[in-house]
């Protein structure tokens, strides 16, 4: 039986060397150890914070294989397998399954606007090609494609589509997805500034770019809000976290994550060009935000 996905899943950066030109799988293994030791419930490679569009099929396959082998069942590993072509997404998904990934996360990558029927057939074809769970990734801010609750509920009728990472920032979507799908679809939050509100609306997890910067705080927030249902304590914690979460969302997860990790002493390199580290002014502001949460004293404090 497939593992049930729940909790905080780190949307991992993709470590690089040579100014972003090469994937650093050794640093990836060290980084996954850091995340797991921080209490993270699962990891996802090649999401938005992992800069999915910056790496070739071969690089993605190799990194997922290395990650699955290294994690060795300690937490679930989900592989981002989105592609502009259905057949390539099928290939990436089947390869991830064969290499031991626990699930795949599929974002719609497209140059041409797709109809709802085209999106449905795209996801159905990918889902039917594997036995592991498929997580639908709705991120209209990045993709330009907004999959509405009714479409997601329709996708939920497909056997192994049971999860959505909902990153529209529209909190009404969470209740709509749950009710329209009759709770067949488990909603994961995907928009950092509304995470607390997402939990209170019924999200059962968080695919978190912010957990690259502060994994222990992210896990603590989930524990308070979802496990213990201590709304006041969760709100007090999120009030402290909010300026950083808002900064992450407005400055771009991948740029903030790579810059923050460098400030914290993690050797993950730079994003691949044309993406770049934050500029001087934003780096100074990020440093101030990290210091306000005691996240610069030591990398293990994060």
Distances in Å between the Cα of 189 and the Cα atoms of 28, 76, 171, 257, 302 are 24, 17, 9, 18, 20
Whether 165 sits among the annotated catalytic residues: the reply is: yes
Which residue, 202, 208, 154, is CA-closest to 174?
202
Contacts of 280 (CB under 8 A, 6+ apart): none
Q: Which of 9, 31, 34, 137 is catalytic?
A: 137
The beta strands (E) that lie in 15-56 are given as 16-17, 22-23, 42-45
Q: Which of 31, 123, 163, 165 is catalytic?
A: 165
Task: Please state, as a whole number, how many other Cβ atoms lie within 10 Å of the Cβ of residue 18.
Answer: 9
Q: Which residues of 199-209 are buried (b: 16+ CB within 10 A; e: fewer)?
A: bbbebbbbbbb
CA–CA distance, 33 with 15 (Å, rounded to integer): 13
Helix axes 86-98, 116-128, angle to 10 degrees: 30
DSSP state for residue 11 in the 8-state scheme: E
Which residue, 118, 57, 115, is CA-closest to 90?
57
Annotated catalytic residues are: 137, 165
């Amino acid at each position: 039986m497939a593992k049930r996905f729940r909790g905080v899943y780190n949307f991992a950066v993709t470590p690089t060397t040579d100014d972003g030109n090469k994937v650093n799988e050794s640093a990836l293994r060290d980084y996954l150890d850091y995340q797991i030791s921080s209490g993270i419930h699962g990891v996802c490679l090649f999401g938005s914070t992992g800069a999915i569009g910056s790496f070739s099929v071969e690089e993605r396959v190799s990194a997922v294989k290395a990650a699955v082998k290294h994690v060795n069942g300690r937490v679930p590993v989900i592989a981002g397998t989105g592609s502009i072509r259905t057949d390539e997404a099928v290939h990436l998904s089947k390869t991830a399954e064969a290499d031991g990934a626990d699930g795949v996360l599929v974002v719609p990558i497209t140059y041409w606007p797709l109809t709802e029927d085209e999106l449905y057939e795209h996801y159905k074809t990918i889902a039917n090609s594997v036995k592991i769970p498929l997580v639908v990734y709705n991120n209209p801010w990045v993709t330009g494609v907004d999959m509405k609750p009714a479409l997601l509920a329709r996708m939920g009728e497909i056997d192994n589509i049971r999860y959505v990472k909902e990153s529209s920032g529209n909190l009404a979507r969470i209740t709509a997805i749950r009710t329209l799908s009759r709770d067949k679809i488990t909603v994961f939050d995907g928009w950092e500034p509304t995470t607390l509100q997402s939990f209170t609306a019924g999200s059962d997890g968080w695919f978190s770019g912010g957990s690259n910067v502060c994994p222990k705080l992210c896990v603590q927030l989930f524990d308070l809000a979802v496990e213990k249902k201590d709304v006041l304590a969760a709100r007090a914690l999120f009030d402290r976290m909010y300026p950083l979460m808002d900064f992450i969302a407005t400055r771009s997860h991948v740029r903030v994550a790579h810059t923050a990790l460098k400030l914290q002493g993690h050797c993950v390199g730079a994003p691949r060009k044309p993406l770049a580290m934050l500029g001087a002014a934003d780096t100074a502001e990020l440093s101030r935000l990290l210091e306000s949460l005691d996240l610069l004293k030591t990398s293990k404090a994060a």
